[in-house]
Amino acid sequence: MSGPVTSTAAGQDNAVVELLSALPVAEDLAARFTAAGHRLYLVGGSVRDAMLGRLSGDLDFTTDARPPQIMALVKGWADAIWDTGIAFGTVGATKHGQTVEITTFRADAYDGVTRNPEVTFGDTIEGDLVRRDFTVNAMAYDVVNRQLIDPTDGRAALKAKVLDTPATPQESFSDDPLRMLRAARFVSQLGFTVAPRVLDAMAAMSGELSRITAERVQVELSKLLTGAYPRAGVELMVEAKLADVVLPELPAMKLEIDEHHQHKDVFHHSLVVLDQAIDLEDGPEPDLVLRLAALLHDIGKPDTRRFEEGGGVSFHHHEVVGAKMVRKRLRALKYSKEIVEDVANLVYLHLRFHGYGSGEWTDSAVRRYVTDADHLLTRLHKLVRADCTTRNKRKANALQRTYDDLERRIERIAAEEDLNRVRPDLDGNEIMRLLGLPPGPMVGKAWKFLKELRLDRGPLDHDEAVAELLAWAREEGVEPPRD
C-alpha cells in the first residue's frame, strides 16, 4: 500500500480525485464492478498522467474479474465493446465518447527469448503492479474507496521525475527488452531522467532489443521523436547504446575531432537542427517527417568525410549518400513508403539552397527547386533554416536573409505562374494529335521535353509551345502529319 500521505502526496491524490470527478464514467463503471463483488482500479499511465494534471481521454483499469466476467459486466452498459485483446485479459469499451480498457490482474512469466509473455492471471492488485515497467506506472487508484495503491513508491519517483523499475532493471528488461526503448520514450514525453541503475542495465543489455520486431521498435521511436523533449530521448538512446541496435547511424555521427582537422560535431549539430526544426513547427501536431529529416539530414557525412590539405574536412555528396542511407534504415524499421520517401527526399534536397549564393539562381532554377520539393516545400523551408547552426550571428543573419529572398522569389513566380502544378503547355492528347502518335514511350518523352521547357522558360503561349514541340519531334526523327 502507499506510504504516509505528505502534503505533496495529498495534492497528487486530490488531483486524481478532481480529474475523476470530471469523468463520471469511471465512478459509474467502478460501482458496477463493486456491486458484482469485484474490485476495479484506475491503473498505470492513467494514474501517472492524472497526478501530472493531464489525464488523457483513454482510461486504463485493472480488475480481479476474469475476461468473461468483464464482458458480462460491460454488456448493456457500454455503447460499444471490442474483445481483440481478450486473450491477454483485456476488454475495450466506450461510454459517452469515453474509451476504457479493462484488464484482469496479470502475473505473467516471460520465456527470455521473445517478448511474448505466458499470460497468467493474478489475484491481487499489488502482484499486478510489481510486474509493470516503471514505478511511475506501477500505481493504481481505488475509485470507490478513493485510495492510492503504491507498493513501489511510484509517487516519490514521479515527484523526483525519475524512471526506475519495480523489480531489478535486469529482471525487468530481460522479461521485455522493449521497456528499455520505452524508457527513452518516457524521457522524451515526460522530461524525466532514468535512475543510474536503469541506465547501467540499459547499456549492458541493449543487444536484447534485437529480440523485438521492427514494427514495435518503430512505434516507440516515433513516439519518442514526437514527444515534448525528443532531444533528451535521443541522447539517452545513444548514451545507453540503444541506438547501436535501433539507429546505428546516430552514434556513427559522433566523429572524432582533432586540433588539425576541426569541424562541427555532426551528432551535436544534428540535435541542434532537431531543436530548431521543432521551433519552426506551426501545426497542431508534431511533424514526424520533419523531425526525422532534421535528425538524419547529415547521416551521410561519416561515409563521405575526407581530410583536405591544410587541415580542412569535406563531405562531398553527403546528401546523396545520406538519402540512400535513410531509405535503407527507415525501410528496415518498417516505416510507410510515404514517410521513407518524404524523409529521404528532404535529406537529398537540404543542401540545394547553398547553391543560391546571394541570389544568383535564375527563375528556372527557382522553378526546379519548387518542383523537386513538390509537397515537401514547406518542410524543406523549415529544414534549411534549422540547418543554420553557426554561432557567428552575422553569418547566421545573412543566411536567413538570403533564404527570405528565395522565398520571396518563389512567392513572386508562384503569383505569376502556377508553380503548384507545373505541367507542359500541351497535354498528352494534343501531343498525340500534333505528332500523329499512338500512346507510348515517345509521347512520354515529348511530354517530358515540354515540361523541361516549361521549367526553363516559364509558361509559353500555345503557338510557341506547338512550334517547339514540332521542332523537337523532327530532331527525334518523328515527322508530324501534314494538315
Is the residue at 414 inside a domain? yes
Residues 6+ apart with CB under 8 A from 158: 12, 48, 51, 52, 136
Mark whether 55 and 36 lie in a shared domain. Answer: yes
Q: Is residue 225 in a domain? A: no
- The answer to whether position 209 is within a domain reads no
Question: Both 447 and 330 in a single domain?
Answer: no
- Residue-wise pLDDT for 210-228, tens only, equals 999 999 999 999 999 999 9
Are 100 and 61 in contact by the 8 Å Cβ rule? The answer is: yes
Assign 161 a pLDDT band (cuts: 50, 70, 90): very high
What pLDDT sits at residue 330?
98
Task: Determine the structural domain holding residue 28 and report its residue range.
Answer: 7-159
Residue 405 lies in a domain: yes
One domain, residues 432 and 408: no
Residue 335 lies in a domain: yes
- Cα Dmax for the chain: 98
Domain shared by 13 and 145, yes or no:
yes
pLDDT at 258 over 50: no
Task: Give per-residue pLDDT as tens, 22-51.
Answer: 578 888 999 999 999 999 999 999 899 888
Whether residue 326 is contained in a domain is answered as yes
Q: Verify that 324 and 339 share a domain, yes or no.
A: yes
Asked whether residue 78 falls in the same domain as residue 25, the answer is yes
Confidence (pLDDT) at 18: 67
What is the C-alpha to C-alpha distance for residues 465 and 6, in angstroms, rounded to an integer? 81
> Which pLDDT score is estimated for 107?
76
* Domains contained in the chain, number: 3
Which set of grid coordinates corresponds to residue 329? 534504415
DSSP β-bridge partners for residue 125: none
What is the spatial distance between Cα 54 and Cα 190, in angstroms, rounded to a whole number?
Answer: 11
314 and 438 assigned to the same domain: no
Q: Do 308 and 442 fall within a single domain? A: no
Q: Assess whether 391 and 439 both reside in one domain.
A: no
Taking residues 319-344, what's their average pLDDT?
96
User: Do residues 379 and 293 touch, judged by C-beta distance below 8 A?
Assistant: yes
**Do 447 and 354 belong to one domain?**
no
Q: Are 125 and 149 in contact (CB under 8 A)?
A: yes
- Based on the fold, state whether residues 409 and 452 are members of the same structural domain: no
Sign of CA dihedral 397, 402, 407, 412: positive
Closest CA to 410 of 384, 449, 448: 384
Q: Write out pLDDT tens, residues 263-278.
A: 568 899 999 999 999 9
Cα distances (Å, whole numbers) of residue 470 to 171, 262, 443, 477: 75, 56, 13, 11
Average pLDDT, the chain: 86
Given 405, 422, 439, which residue is the final one in a domain? 422
Q: Are residues 431 and 418 both part of a single domain?
A: no
